[in-house]
Structure formats: structure tokens, C-alpha cells
Structure 1
């Protein structure tokens, strides 16, 4: 909306005064008390209503003293059409009329549509300012300035901001990168703690299994060496017995060599005894080493934390269940982010459709309403075309008969041509009157239909083609609501 001019009937110090704002930019200046603030207050009052006489508002009234007329009008341009907005004294901020250049009159609903989402507070915050407010602009941060400008340039942006804020709040309740209270954060902390416990238990369990395996190997080795020890002990006992008998045998051998040989005591037996004694000493030393290693492994197994191992085995299925729950939570988080992206796509498509028409979009027509609109748009052009074809054919026939009668000196033929021409003219006059009445009736019906369904802001030729986009917008709104 662009303000072109203003006419003040009576407002403060101004009486029957005109102001032209056609220059771009338009600068209004003057000394103190020249009426600049009064003019600015007049424009704001025409758009949003006169101040009442209650409380502090009574000081905001500018009722004139020299005339009984309180109010005036401004000429504005909205989407290429000029409108005269007039407000006079009355209840609820004054009586408002909006008139276009064709003389059609509208009420406050038309003014509300022209203002869109701009209310008096937003107007005073963005479009109306004084030196004090200019000085306070430096206190606004970029986000606040961007928020104010976005409310001016986008219809319904406040509802969008509220929806976005609610979605962000719901997301924060589920997860924050550095939060502790959101649901996902608590589950992730619990998962990390349990994962560490599982890892510690797994490490200790592996140590336990390795130590138990070594112990079994050592036990098998000990049993093997114990069996060898038993066998060697028997051999040692036999060799000790032979060793004790060796002096007797040696003496006997010197005295009775031939008899000793005959009794089976040979020099090879003595050599074998010496070899077995050496083997026995080596095996005894190795057996001592194995016993020391077995004692050490037994000590390691005894020192292993049996309570932690039992806790691991007891809660092993709980750990697996928690791991499955975490995977499910991660899947839900991925779905949540996918839904966020889908919502942004839906908003983007709806914004493109909204920008295509530049107005607040109405609801789509029902099937019956679409049939009614097609009927209103299609009746008259067919009948008018048929009347034009019939009139052209009759006029041509009458003119041909008249010319033939005139050149052929046939009075009857000429008279018939005149009769046809006269009848055609009368019929055409009547048909044009009926077509005019039909056209007026059709236009009135279309205007009523447009006002009833909120289509007056759009050209009549777009009413039917735009229904597909309106159905798509309604579908997008439903998907966003879901």
C-alpha cells in the first residue's frame, strides 16, 4: 500500500486541507508546532481509528474547535488500484468507508485486507518513528530488526515463528548437543556408562578366560610331570637299590669275575644306572619350576574379581537389550531429522504458491461450487456469439434483397429487403438489450460469488485455473498440521 494524498476535513489545527505525497521520497518539514505530528497522527488515525476519550487516550484526540467535521480521507494505491479511505467521527474509532475509482464502496473488512498483518503497534514500531525512536534503534540487535521486517513482508509470519519455536522447543526436549535433561541425552549417557561397564567386563572376562586356559594347560602339564615323576621315582628307587649293592658287586666281581658275569650283572647296567641318575636330577629340577608356575597361576585365578564376573554374566542380556533400545532411539532421532527436513520443504512449497498470487489465499471451491462458477463463466459468451452470427446473416440477406430490388426495379423485392433489415435491426436491438442485461446479471453474480468465496482480490480469469494451487495449499496445510 502506498499513500498518494490526504484530505483533512477537520483534525487538530488542520481544516479543509489537502496534502500531496506523489513525490518519491516525500519530505515534510517545518518549525515547531507547524502541524507535522498532527498530520502523521491523522494518517495513523485514518488507518487504525480515532483515539477514544477514556483514560490517557483523551489527550490523543484532535477534535477541531472551529468545525463540526472530525476526520478526513487518504488516497492509497494497493496492487495497482486506487482506493479512497475515509473515516469520520463515530463509535469504535470512527466510521470507515473504502471506495475504489469505479465508485464501489467497501467497509472495514476491505481496509483490514489491505493492511494485512500490520496492526497499530507494528505500524508505530516500523513505519512511524520520531527522533527518540531513531536514537533507540542502536539498541536493537540484528535478529530483532530482521524479525520486525519479516513481519512486514510476510503474511502470517507470526504464526510461522510460533510454529517454528514450538518445533524447536519440542526438539530441545528430546535432544540437545550439550544438555543433560532431554530424553535422548539421558539415554545416551546411560548407554555410554553401560557400554563402559560392558567393555571393562569384557576385558576382565578375556583375562579370566586366558588365565583359566593357562591354568588348565598348566594342570595338564603338572599331571603329566607328576606321572613322569612317579615313573622316575620307581626307577630311582631301583637304581638306589643297585647303587647300594654296587660295592658288594664290585668286590664280588674282583673275586669272582666269571661267576658275576654268569649271574647277569653286566658293565652296561652300571652305565645305564649313571644315565638314569642324570635324567632324574634334571627332571626333578624341571618339576620344581613347573610347581612354582602352577602356584603363581593359581594365585592369579584366586585374585580375579569373581563378583564382577558374576555381575557381567547376570546382566549380559540387559546390556544387549539396552544396546537394542539405543539403536531404536537413534532410528527415531534420524526419523525426527527427516521430518524436520520434510516440514521445511512443505513450508518452502507453500511460500512459493503464496508469493505467486500475492494475496491471502482463500479456501478451494467444492465440486458443486466449481460447477456453479463454470456455469457463470460459460453461459453468456455462447449466446452472444450465436446472436452476432444470426444478426450478420439476416443483415446480409436484407441488404442483398434491397440491392437486387433497387437495381432490378422490383419494388416488392426492395420492400422485402427493407422489412428484413428493419426486423433484423429491431431483433438485434432487443437481443443487445437482453445480452446487456444478461451481462450485468452475470457480472453481479460473479461479484457475489467472488465475495462469498474470497476471490475478489484475483482476476476472474484466474478463478478456475488457480483452484489446483488452492487444493495444493490446503493439502500442504494439512500435512504441516499433521
Structure 2
């Protein structure tokens, strides 16, 4: 990417400054406290946001008036032109609809003349190759304190970037790696309904827990099954005994029903014998 223009409304000791950078290389020079570091801090603030008041050294409150912020124009490698307009507070009479409480407005224009608004995330992804604020700060250190920090070359993200740059591909390889990490997050981190694999894994874990609980009940199940078989055998014996007694009862009922006839027959036999 290439910086084309910096329009500073108010940032540190700079205010009402409009700097165009037409050449391929621009050298900023001047005595101490002239504002060289402030200019680089302005670029960082436009790209990643104006720091809060807790980071006063990096916030660069306007010392000479003007709305805190400005406009940064950048030409992308693909020919698109990005205009980033950012203010810590909306300047008087200006309404900037954006993604951060009316403090940010990003427009993106292509070579065909089409213009549309873009988000902070889209700008970082397409223009900066997904580079984070921490990594940008390490690669483009502004102050002596930042340059002297030993940790400036020890972050994992910066190490990967320098490695990929050394083997060729640089930012493109880093973007691919970030994309893979994002895709893995979508697949495996349980954060909402879109994480289908995560939900399936949770379902499998739940079923495994239920299976383990069922195994603990297996000995009791076997005991109950044996008891059920013993009772079934007793029931079969009882059914057979009941059937035999039913037949005997029916026979006795027939005998009772024929007793009167039997008594009469015996009386007749006695009479005939006499």
C-alpha cells in the first residue's frame, strides 16, 4: 500500500496540516520535537483507532486546537483507494456515521469509479492483510522507547510474518494462515448455532457420558434379569398346577350334579334285590 495524503485537523502539536505524498519515497526530516513521530502516530491512529486517555503518550491530544483526528488517504496494491476519516469526537457541524459511535468513516473506491463504505475489519483485512495493531506497532515503531523494546522482535505473529517474508509470499501467506485459524475457530469453538461440528462433538460427549452411566447399571440389570427368569419359571409351574386343579374342580362339579341320580339308582337296586 502507499500513503497518498494526510489531512490533520488536530493531532498533538499539528493542526490544520494537509500533506500530500506524490512520490514513491517520501523523506520526513526536521529537528527534535518538529512532529515527525507525531505524523507517524497519526497514521497509526487513523488505521487502528485513536488511543484512549489511559494511553496519553500515544493519544496525542491536540495542543493547538482542531478536532482530534483527520483523514488519511491510502492507495492499495490492487488499485483501490481508501479514505479513512477518524475523530476522537465528531467535529462541529459534522456527522460521521460509522462503526464506532460516529467517530469513523471509511470509503473504498475502485478503478472503475465505484465508491462504497467499508468497515474497520474489512479495511484491516483487505488493505493491511489482516495485520493487527500490535504487529503494526512492532514493524513500524515510532518512538525510541518502542525501538528499544526487546520484545519488539519476539512476538509469535511478527516472527511468522518475517519468516514468510523471507521465504517469499509474506503477507499473502500470513493472510492464508489467519484464514485457516479463523476457519478452525468457526468449526471447533462452541460460539453459537453456526458451530455445527462443535455441537456434534458436544452431542457425542453427552452420549458417551450416558453410555458410561448405563454401564454402571449393568450388574443390577443382570441381577434383575435372573430374578425375572426365576419368577417366569415359577409362574409356568403355577399355571400348570392351576390347570390341573381346574380339571379336578370340573370333575367334582359333574359328580355333584349327578349325585341325585346316583342315589336314586342305588335305591332302585336295593329294591330290586329285595
Relative to its length, the structure with more helix (as a share) is: 1
Please identify which structure carries the higher strand content. Answer: 2
When normalised by structure 1's length, the TM-score is 0.29
* Bigger relative contact order (CA 8 A; separation at least 6): 2
